[in-house]
A = this chain, B = another copy of it.
Amino acid sequence: MIADTHGEAYSRSREDYLKAIFWLESSGGAAQTSAIAELLDIAPPSVSGMVKRLSESGLLEHVPYRGVQLTRTGRRAALRMVRRHRILETYLTSKLGYDWDSVHDEAERLEHAVSDELIERMAIALGNPRYDPHGAPIPTADGKIEKPDLMPLTEIPLAATAELRMVSDKNPELLRYIASLGLRPGVGFEVVARQPFRGPVTIRFLDSHHADQVIGNELAESLHCEVVEKEVG
């Protein structure tokens, strides 16, 4: 039996699985056992076992040896966790002075402990934000999530003007580095050069307080951007 019922709560583990499976589904179709295992750092046989229990609870469809898919209920529960995580990250950065590179772990623990009421109070205190500090969209309380149409910096055409919109929250060093370049969600730039053979990309900030920046391919792939029209007038 779960310790406290704060709304409709599953165990901490189950919540983590649901979130992981949601994440895998959103970025590449069906979730394989091995991918879940990798993401959660759990041995594959343990994942098999939990997957069975979760599908017996009606949270996901499991086709043995094939993969796994969230049911409507599972998806709702997963989105609830995503909302919690992102509201928490936003609250911690804007109300308690956390840096955007250090909120992830704190949110990761708190998301299992807070009540729905607390999350909604935080959301109200923040003015119902639509994006978290890393630019990721925050699902609404009734489980709707915006699906932004972004592309990695590596695919922005030369000479195009674009805006950084979203960065993964999982790697603190990467986030610190990005911030040190002057890059944050919402910052606009132009692609002024690109080296061939998966080489680095050079960008020029629109409001040029900073010099041009050369960005390696691997980093560029994790910067999710939107091409924007050039400012007219």
Contacts and interface: CB of A to CB of B under 8 A. Distances in A.
A3 interface: yes
B109 A121 contact: no
A204 interface: no
Contacts of A6: 105-106, 109
A97 B110 contact: no
27 contacts: A3-B12, A3-B109, A4-B105, A4-B108, A4-B109, A6-B105, A6-B109, A92-B118, A95-B95, A95-B125, A96-B118, A96-B121, A96-B122, A96-B125, A98-B121, A105-B115, A106-B114, A106-B117, A106-B118, A109-B113, A109-B114, A109-B115, A110-B110, A110-B113, A110-B114, A112-B113, A113-B113
Nearest to A125: B96
A108 B112 CA distance: 13
Interface secondary structure of A, over-half rule: helix
Interface of A: 3-4, 6, 12, 92, 95-98, 105-106, 108-110, 112-115, 117-118, 121-122, 125
A110 B112 CA distance: 9
Nearest to A6: B109
Contacts of A92: 118
Contacts of A3: 12, 109
